[in-house]
Structure 1
Amino acid sequence: MKQPLAYVHPDAKIANNVVIEPFVTIDKNVVIGEGTHIGSNVTILEGARIGKNCRIFPGAVISAIPQDLKFQGEETTVEIGDNTTLRECVTVNRGTAAKGKTVVGSNCLIMAYSHIAHDCVVGDHVIISNATQVAGEVDIDNYAVIGGGTLIHQFSHIGAHVMIQGGSLVNKDIPPYIKVGRNPISYAGINSIGLRRRNFSNETICNIQEIYRYLYQSAMNHTEALERIEAELPATKERDEVVLFVRNSKRGIIKGYL
């Protein structure tokens, strides 16, 4: 259902039951899936790929060109999964030649005034709270929860099931399953409440706690801690995920208690 006061480029591919409110602009080379609702004054520019049953609130701008001086007009996209909500004035920039696309997964909630820059990859079930600013080429894994007003440095990696305190300055990678906060940002324990809500067993949560005792509550450096973790703790999906994350970290992981 398209309002007469909206502009939809004739080359855009819009499913039949998409709701488009007044003063919306939809450019060419845009695809929008069934059941999506586009609020008034939303701007959806070239290269947007929006899934089914999404909700985009007034003032959002999707797939504007990246704020990256290396961008040379290459053909890139923004991909937004099914059942994702973008609240008022959210901005999601399209990719550059680095990755070719910016991705926001399914079942995400991106709250008002947040920005997701070029070439970011946001997983499924992610919550990004109000006025969070995500710089270019950041990876945010599934079920991460990011507090309002957080600033995330480019190229950072945020692991799955992480919870970040509002107002944080993220300048290092954050391994999965933990809470972080304070200033400067540091480890604040595992995200046990979030894990229980997602049906992690008590045994699994205890195993994750033990992993982080080696990493953050021992006198060992990270290399020594990883070796001890692999040698002394039982092999589990969670153990191997943490070990792989830390070993592959390009920026280094956040510090322990300060």
Structure 2
Amino acid sequence: MSSLFLKLAALSRSRTLPSLGFHPRFFSSFAEKEEQSVNVHHSSNTTTTNPCFIHPTAIVHPNALIGQGVSIGPFCTVSPSAKLGNGCQLQPGSHIFGNTDVGDNCMMMAGAIVGDDYPGCTVIGNNNIIGHHAVIGVRCQDLKYKLEDECFLEIGDNNDIREHTSVHRSSKSTDKTVIGDGNLIMGSCHIAHDCKIGNNNILANNTLLAGHVEVEDYVHTAGATVVHQFCHLGSFSFLGGGSVVSQDVPKYTMVAGERAELRGLNLVGLTRRGFSMAEIRSLKTAYRKIFMRADANAGSFEDRLAEVEQHEELIRVPAVQAMLQSIRNSFVEDRRGICKFRHWNGS
């Protein structure tokens, strides 16, 4: 590996294009040093009006496709099959490996590693931030993984993935790990192979998602949350800090505990996301009928669920329908059921 880097470094230093200077955001500390740039293959939609800035210690393979206005800092490496969109910025010591396609205006903070030399690819959309020493798109930690399998990771747009976070590719060629748009993934989180993350979620520090976890939209986890493999987290749900989630979390609900239990609706989240008071009242009524019945003739969980499904007023509220469907879905096929709930005793 070191000999390859030496050869690539020699290629980089052998080029004699005029000096282009250093990008002021990252290279101010190198203002007194000799400036140097290298040739790279520009994508077809780029021009020379906004040139790239590449530090002389960076190793950029001549086959890499580099967009317009890209800044590559000291001691970075870019692989031969990498593609960097317009306006990308690589801070010192960040690396792009393997078959990796990065969209426009993405920033790799110092020490970030994106992609892997194993078969498969990592695709990242536009306007993403990859935090300091984050590791994104590397091979999974699944013992069933085979080295010859092509595995995939897709990340959407406008995500903020913070320091020391790890996101792994899928465990097999027939699946892929997916992260949508507008997510905030805080420091030291882990998203394992084959997870599906929706849009506008907030995963607080040290949230750990095992393989095949599905997170819908507007989910908020507090710090040190752990989610068992194959669990589903419904939209607009909230997971309390330190929770260990081993079953599904229905839409709109809140769970907490060392073995997470339902603790009611995520009223704060619903209010912040613009749910009307009428919708919230209907959800409260439905939740009480299903999970908080105090009378002796309440019937089984299935009976209570069916009662709400047949309630003429509640069933007309789309949010109630969505919550009921979320609960039903958790009991089909190989799903894990929902988190346990405390039986209401009327006190």
Q: Give the Cα–Cα distance (whole angstroms) in 2 for the partners of residues 70 and 43 of structure 1.
A: 24
**Corresponding residue number in structure 2 for 1:256:** 341
Q: 1:60 aligns with which of 126, 131, 134?
A: 134
2:153 partner SS:
strand
- Structure 2 unaligned segments of length 5 or more: list them: 1-70
TM-score (norm 1): 0.96
Q: Give the Cα–Cα distance (whole angstroms) in 2 for the partners of residues 147 and 127 of structure 1.
A: 9
Tell whether 2:328 aligns with 1:247. Answer: yes
Q: Shift of residue 99 of structure 1?
A: 5.2
The worse-fitting range, judged by mean Cα deviation, of 44-53 and 195-204 is: 44-53
Structure 1 ranges of 4+ moved more than 6 A: none
Equivalent pair of 1:215/1:221 in contact (CA under 8 Å): no
2:264 partner SS:
strand
2:304 partner SS:
helix
Equivalent pair of 1:89/1:112 in contact (CA under 8 Å): yes
- CA separation of 1:220 and 1:172: change in aligned 2, threshold 3 A: farther
Equivalent pair of 2:244/2:257 in contact (CA under 8 Å): no
**Corresponding residue number in structure 2 for 1:118:** 193
Q: 1:16 aligns with which of 86, 98, 104?
A: 86
Q: Shift of residue 235 of structure 1?
A: 2.2
1:96 partner SS:
coil
Equivalent pair of 1:99/1:119 in contact (CA under 8 Å): no
Q: Which amino acid aligns with 1:172?
A: Q
**Corresponding residue number in structure 2 for 1:217:** 292
Higher RCO (CA 8 Å, separation ≥ 6 residues): 1
Matches within 5 A, 1:121-160: 121-160=196-235
CA RMSD of aligned residues (A): 1.4
Tell whether 2:310 aligns with 1:231. Answer: yes
- CA separation of 1:99 and 1:197: change in aligned 2, threshold 3 A: farther
The worse-fitting range, judged by mean Cα deviation, of 168-177 and 28-37 is: 28-37
Larger Rg belongs to: 2
Q: 2:260 aligns with which of 160, 185, 196?
A: 185
- CA separation of 1:166 and 1:98: change in aligned 2, threshold 3 A: farther
**Corresponding residue number in structure 2 for 1:48:** 122
Matches within 5 A, 1:170-181: 170-181=245-256
Matched length: 258
Q: Deviations over 1:11-46 (max 9, x none)?
A: 211102001111111112111111111101111113
TM-score (norm 2): 0.72
Identity of aligned residues (%): 34
Q: Deviations over 1:147-191 (max 9, x none)?
A: 111111000011000011110000111101011113432111111
Equivalent pair of 2:150/2:173 in contact (CA under 8 Å): no
- Structure 1 unaligned segments of length 5 or more: list them: none
Q: Which amino acid aligns with 2:154?
A: E
